[in-house]
């Protein structure tokens, strides 16, 4: 009967136990072999004395050999107790030793902290043996377990939607799959089950959930994967407040149950407009006690054009952000921040240092004393603080100061709490493009908060019934009430410049289904990888995925993608046609 290494303790003293595991470390000391044997529950020390019948065999044991050992548990001498090890009060004196498998010398020590990600991904089967990766995958499994349990307790059915489906309209690139039975035609891998979950509502299931892989063939940013997992939820006959309350209860329970974190009684809510105005981004990190404050009205009439012109222009803004106690930020660090905001298009980074001697800044002479004092009053700056400024197009100021806010908070460790969830609501329906055309801020199936006629006349300002859940500045989930009436859907598609033909071609099946008694419905999707990353405190979603892809969408372990024989491609009705090199 197997005992797990990590679970042995003083209660097992004098018992004969059998363990299976890997050689974590081997030492020889005074003719005795000491092995640290590791299984999925932890590590225990095994002692092999020179008179052991398998001693010669034991001498061949190297790191990562797989062993089956039986022996007797004994107490360690007081001076040999290892406090760092859960099993450190005992050890096993080996009786029989069996080598179940050997191992070549490993390219890196298990649990070595300085292994490069490239090597870790190539030898993922070794990297996953590390304690930190074992714990992350275990936590991830607990997360999905909790989610499923919660959803099923609330009468949501787990229903699978297809993977080989039609190009979806989310906007990112689809992964395509050639069809052999219909040569020249293609399936698309779903970017989300959006249309199918809406169809499930039209199918009368009322409550659906699924934890499901989705696919986006995008240029990969640090925090994206070509295949990612979401908790996907949809329900009929509930409004946004009811859906948000339910999803909030799920999230609260999840954090409490899995990592014993209390997210608070009721998550606060902020409008999209306020989030951008005060925090520069639509996913505000509420752990940070810094706010962006508009000061246009103080600057409209000054002569300093760098500030006065954006202050007067309705498409621009001037804003200030005070960092309490920030006056000792060095000149060099300010240069770094100036470089940082330039990523977002800012042409500079003005500041006022609140020194003991009074405000100090290269721009004071352009502002004049009165305006300077008005600004200081408006942002309530005190001696020892610093004020940073942004003055440009609204988008540039928001992005620059919004991201600077997060960077400074990180650099100076300004966080006021560990966990800060917030709902963002009242998103606009559309983004206006430079050419005057409209794009959907969420997706074309999101319901507006006004009727079709009002929507047509106020498209650029109309709000949607969408909501995002943000935790610590990361969007962990988003959703909306969907359009359930075909006329409204047609209005929205028209506003988006999608012709009837294109609409019929791409999602005629949805438009058709809307005409046969579609219930009011809405839902939400949580990004599982992102959520687990946050919950485990990992730096990258690659650290919470067993077999992730690199940022160029390759698998270093299996060397996928790979070339394929022409014969196979011929059967699929395609051939390779490489783009000509520039």
- Residues forming the annotated binding site for L-aspartate? 170, 216, 442, 482
- Residues forming the annotated binding site? 170, 216-218, 225, 442, 475, 482, 527-530
Beta carbon of residue 110, minimum distance to its own copies (angstroms, whole number): 9
Choose which of 51, 418, 563, 567 interacts with its own copies (CB under 8 A): 563
The helix-helix angle for 131-153 and 240-259 (nearest 10°) equals 140
Bridge partners of 236? 521
Q: How far apart are CA 580 and CA 562, in angstroms?
A: 20
The reply on whether position 126 binds its own copies by CB under 8 A is: yes
Please list every residue from 344 through 383 that binds its own copies, using CB under 8 A: none
Cβ(359)–Cβ(382) under 8 Å? no
Please list every residue from 520 through 539 that binds its own copies, using CB under 8 A: 520
Of the pair 141, 328, the CB lying nearest its own copies is at 141
Choose which of 129, 353, 482, 542 interacts with its own copies (CB under 8 A): 129
The reply on whether position 12 binds its own copies by CB under 8 A is: no
- Residues forming the annotated binding site for ATP? 216-218, 225, 475, 527-530
Altogether, the residues listed in the chain come to a count of 582
Please list every residue from 382 through 411 that binds its own copies, using CB under 8 A: none
Of the pair 151, 401, the CB lying nearest its own copies is at 151
**CA-wise closest residue to 347 among 292, 397, 407:** 397
570 φ, ψ (degrees, to nearest 5) = -55, -45
Bridge partners of 101? 66
Cβ(218)–Cβ(516) under 8 Å? no
Of the pair 202, 281, the CB lying nearest its own copies is at 202
Neighbours of 324 (CB within 10 A): 16
The reply on whether position 25 binds its own copies by CB under 8 A is: no
Buried b / exposed e along 399-412 (16+ C-beta atoms within 10 A): bbbbbbbbebbeee
Sign of CA dihedral 373, 376, 377, 378: positive
Choose which of 20, 34, 304, 340 interacts with its own copies (CB under 8 A): 20
Cβ(361)–Cβ(420) under 8 Å? no
Please list every residue from 60 through 99 that binds its own copies, using CB under 8 A: 64-66, 68
Task: State the greatest distance between any 2 C-alpha atoms of the chain, in Å, as a whole number.
Answer: 94
The reply on whether position 271 binds its own copies by CB under 8 A is: no
Choose which of 7, 89, 227, 309 interacts with its own copies (CB under 8 A): 227
In the shown chain, the binding pattern of residues 466 to 505 toward its own copies, with x for contact by CB under 8 A and - for none, equals ------------------xx-------------------x
Cβ(166)–Cβ(187) under 8 Å? yes
Please list every residue from 175 through 194 that binds its own copies, using CB under 8 A: 175-189
Cβ(502)–Cβ(466) under 8 Å? no
Of the pair 128, 438, the CB lying nearest its own copies is at 128
Beta carbon of residue 194, minimum distance to its own copies (angstroms, whole number): 13
Choose which of 25, 72, 154, 173 interacts with its own copies (CB under 8 A): 173
Of the pair 332, 581, the CB lying nearest its own copies is at 581
The helix-helix angle for 331-342 and 394-412 (nearest 10°) equals 140
Please list every residue from 143 through 172 that binds its own copies, using CB under 8 A: 144-145, 148, 152, 157-167
Cβ(133)–Cβ(196) under 8 Å? no
For 321, the enclosing helix (H) or strand (E) is strand 316-323
How many chain residues are in contact with its own copies, going by CB under 8 A?
Answer: 118
The reply on whether position 337 binds its own copies by CB under 8 A is: no
Beta carbon of residue 52, minimum distance to its own copies (angstroms, whole number): 22
Of the pair 236, 480, the CB lying nearest its own copies is at 236
Please list every residue from 26 through 65 that binds its own copies, using CB under 8 A: 38-40, 64-65
Q: By CB neighbour count within 10 A (0-12 exposed, 13-18 middle, 19+ buried), where does 395 fall? A: middle
For residue 178, the SS3 value is strand
The reply on whether position 121 binds its own copies by CB under 8 A is: no
């Amino acid at each position: 009967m197997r005992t797990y290494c990590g679970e042995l303790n003083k209660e097992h003293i004098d018992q004969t136990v059998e363990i299976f595991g890997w050689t974590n470390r081997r030492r020889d000391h005074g003719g005795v072999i000491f092995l640290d044997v590791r299984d999925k529950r932890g590590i225990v020390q095994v002692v092999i004395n020179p008179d052991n019948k398998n001693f010669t065999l034991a001498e061949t044991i190297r790191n990562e050999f797989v062993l089956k050992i039986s022996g007797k548990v004994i107490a360690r001498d007081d001076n040999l107790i290892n406090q760092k090890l859960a099993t450190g009060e005992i050890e096993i004196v080996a009786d029989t030793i069996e080598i179940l498998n050997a191992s070549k010398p490993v390219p890196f020590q298990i649990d070595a902290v300085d292994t490069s990600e490239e090597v870790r991904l190539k030898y993922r089967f070794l990297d996953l043996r590390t304690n930190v990766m074992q714990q992350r995958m275990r936590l991830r499994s607990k997360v999905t377990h909790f989610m499923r349990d919660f959803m099923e307790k609330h009468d949501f059915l787990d229903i699978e939607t297809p993977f080989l489906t039609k190009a979806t309209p989310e906007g990112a690139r689809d992964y395509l799959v050639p069809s052999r039975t219909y040569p020249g035609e293609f399936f698309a891998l779903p970017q989300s089950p959006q249309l199918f979950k809406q169809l499930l509502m039209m199918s009368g299931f009322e409550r659906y959930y699924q934890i499901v892989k989705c696919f986006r063939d995008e240029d990969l940013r640090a925090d994206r994967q070509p295949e990612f997992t979401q908790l996907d939820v949809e329900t009929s006959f509930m409004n946004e407040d009811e859906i948000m309350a339910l999803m909030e209860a799920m999230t609260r329970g999840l954090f409490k149950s899995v990592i014993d974190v209390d997210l608070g009684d009721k998550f606060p809510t902020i409008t999209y407009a306020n989030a951008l105005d005060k925090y520069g981004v639509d996913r505000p990190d509420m752990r940070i006690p810094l706010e962006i404050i508009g000061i246009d009205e103080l600057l409209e009439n000054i002569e300093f054009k760098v500030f006065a012109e954006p202050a007067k222009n309705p498409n621009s803004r001037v804003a200030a952000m005070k960092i309490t106690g920030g006056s000792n930020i060095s000149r060099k660090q300010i240069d770094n921040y100036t470089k940082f905001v330039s990523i977002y298009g800012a042409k500079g980074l003005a500041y006022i240092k609140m020194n003991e001697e009074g405000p100090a800044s290269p721009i004071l002479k352009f502002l004049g004393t009165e305006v300077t004092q008005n600004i200081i009053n408006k942002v309530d700056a005190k001696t020892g603080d610093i004020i940073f400024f942004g003055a440009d197009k609204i988008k540039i100021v928001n992005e620059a100061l919004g991201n600077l806010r997060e960077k400074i908070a990180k650099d100076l460790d300004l966080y006021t709490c560990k966990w800060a969830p917030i709902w963002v609501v009242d998103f606009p329906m559309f983004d206006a493009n430079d050419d005057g055309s409209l794009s959907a801020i969420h997706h074309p199936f999101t319901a507006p908060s006004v009727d079709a006629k009002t929507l047509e006349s106020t498209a650029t300002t109309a709000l949607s019934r969408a909501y995002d859940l943000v935790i610590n500045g990361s969007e962990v989930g988003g959703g909306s009430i969907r359009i359930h009436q075909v006329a409204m859907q047609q209005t929205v598609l028209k506003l988006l410049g999608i012709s009837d033909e294109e609409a019929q071609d791409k999602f005629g099946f949805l438009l058709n289904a809307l005409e046969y008694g579609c219930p009011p419905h809405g839902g939400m999707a949580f990004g599982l990888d992102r959520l687990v990353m946050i919950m485990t405190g990992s730096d990258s979603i690659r650290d919470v995925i067993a077999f992730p892809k690199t940022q160029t969408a390759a698998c270093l372990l299996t060397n996928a993608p790979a070339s394929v024989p022409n014969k196979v491609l011929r059967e699929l009705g395609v051939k390779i046609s490489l783009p000509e090199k520039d």
